[in-house]
Amino acid sequence: MLTAAPPPAPYTAVGLGRDPRTQSSTPGESFTDRKRFATMTHTIKGAEIARSIRTRVAERVAAAGGQVPGLATVLIGDDPASAVYVAAKRRAVREAGMRDIHRHLRHQATQNEVAAVIDELAGDPDVSGILLQLPLPAQLDAAPLIDRIPVTKDVDGLTTASAGRLARGERGMRPCTPNGVIELLDAEGIELQGAHVAVVGWGQLVGRPLSQLLLRRGATVTVAHEFTADLTAVTRPADVVVVATGVRGLIGPEHVKPGATVVDVGIHRTPDGLAGDVRAAELDGIAGRITPVPGGVGPMTIAMLLVNTLQAAEWGAERDAVPA
């Protein structure tokens, strides 16, 4: 059985600040009643799925011979969490047989200094992809720096050009975490066409691009955000619930219908370890499938970063100025 830290109080991000533990979507229905009708909850092993993807990427890199993809990571400052994330990405790059290129700038770096580094990497033929680790120090404006990355090297899929291509359904880089969520659902054999998917969270990194990817797969998508008046009314009918809010323990059994798939994108450090946006232990016996934290979506994000880097290298080999 999965364990999760107790949720924070009060609840303020979604649902007008009401504590979801006191809400019930159906009068007279208890969580115990609902558990009687649910099957055993299956844990989606994102780490295993990611490992398989990384193996296939490494095989394709090896088969390419002398054409070795290169990923450049840019880290500003010494934020411990960012340093850990970048180290994990660099390790994965090396394990895949790719070229690991890294630039580490001081915390006080100026906008012009960071821009110069990005421009240098953009013009380097050995660099297939560029990743600017977020968040940036307060003195830096992230958006114009991200948009300096050429669309062909935008392995995070965060530039304005990449977002436009996603919205138009054109060929281009897809953001790693949303793409990883889609891959997880596909690996589990979950049919998205015709499914009702609730996306909780409307952030630029996950919620917005994921909603667009799901729509293109034929899902009926409902999005909840900080102004949603009744969160349960959005999530309870859904076949799939994807949660990316940054609010620990927000989603519980009152939000999920029996048998639904729950994907937890959140990750929070607590005294007891890592926890997500979902109170996973309370969904045991209710959710049909659920991703754990850790070991669920996180490994998929890195796997899809490698996929994007390989794709960027292949586009570079085609000598396309812009993917068409």
- Domains of the chain from N-terminus onward: 20-44+177-300 (3.40.50.720), 67-156 (3.40.50.10860)
The active-site residue out of 89, 153, 154, 277 is 89
Beta strands in 173-301 (DSSP E): 196-200, 220-224, 240-243, 261-264, 268-270, 273-275, 289-290
Q: At residue 91, what are phi and psi to the nearest 5 degrees?
A: -65, -40
Active site residue 133: yes
CB-based contacts of 316: which residues, under 8 Å, 6+ apart?
A: 125, 128, 152
Structure tokens of 205? 């990194």
| Whole-number pLDDT of residue 232 | 98
Structure tokens of 177? 């975490």
Judging by beta carbons within 10 Å of its beta carbon (0-12, 13-18, 19+), is residue 132 exposed, middle or buried?
A: buried
Active site residue 156: yes
| Whole-number pLDDT of residue 321 | 45
Cα 47 from Cα 52, distance rounded (Å):
9
CB-based contacts of 302: which residues, under 8 Å, 6+ apart?
A: 50, 54, 88, 89, 92, 176
| Whole-number pLDDT of residue 39 | 65
| Whole-number pLDDT of residue 247 | 97
In 3-state terms, what secondary structure has residue 101?
A: strand
C-alpha distances out from residue 303 to 32, 42, 178, 243, 282, Å: 38, 22, 12, 20, 29
Give me the helices (H) in the chain, please. Answer: 31-36, 46-63, 80-95, 111-122, 142-146, 160-168, 176-187, 207-216, 231-235, 297-317
In 3-state terms, what secondary structure has residue 258?
A: coil
Was 267 annotated as part of a binding site?
Answer: yes
Which residues, listed in sequence order, are joined to residue 27 by a DSSP beta bridge?
none
Active site residue 100: no
Residue recorded with tokens 């307060």 = 138
Structure tokens of 110? 């100026």
The active-site residue out of 19, 67, 126, 133 is 133
CA atoms within 13 A on the CB side of 122: 17
Whether 276 contacts 3, CB under 8 Å: no
Cα 307 from Cα 57, distance rounded (Å):
7
| Whole-number pLDDT of residue 29 | 43
Structure tokens of 318? 């085609």
Was 203 annotated as part of a binding site?
Answer: yes
Q: At residue 21, what are phi and psi to the nearest 5 degrees?
A: -70, -15
Whether 309 contacts 99, CB under 8 Å: no
The active-site residue out of 154, 156, 239, 277 is 156
- The per-residue pLDDT string of the chain (324 residues; one tens digit each, 9 = 90 and over) reads 323 333 333 322 333 233 333 333 443 344 444 444 446 999 999 999 999 999 999 999 999 877 899 999 999 999 999 999 999 999 999 999 999 999 999 999 999 999 999 999 999 999 999 999 999 999 999 999 999 999 999 999 999 999 999 999 998 999 999 999 999 999 999 999 999 999 999 999 999 999 999 999 999 999 999 999 999 999 999 999 999 999 999 999 999 999 999 999 999 999 999 999 999 999 999 999 999 999 999 999 999 999 999 999 998 877 544 454
pTM: 0.85
Residue recorded with tokens 């917005």 = 208
Cα 273 from Cα 4, distance rounded (Å):
9
Q: At residue 55, what are phi and psi to the nearest 5 degrees?
A: -65, -45
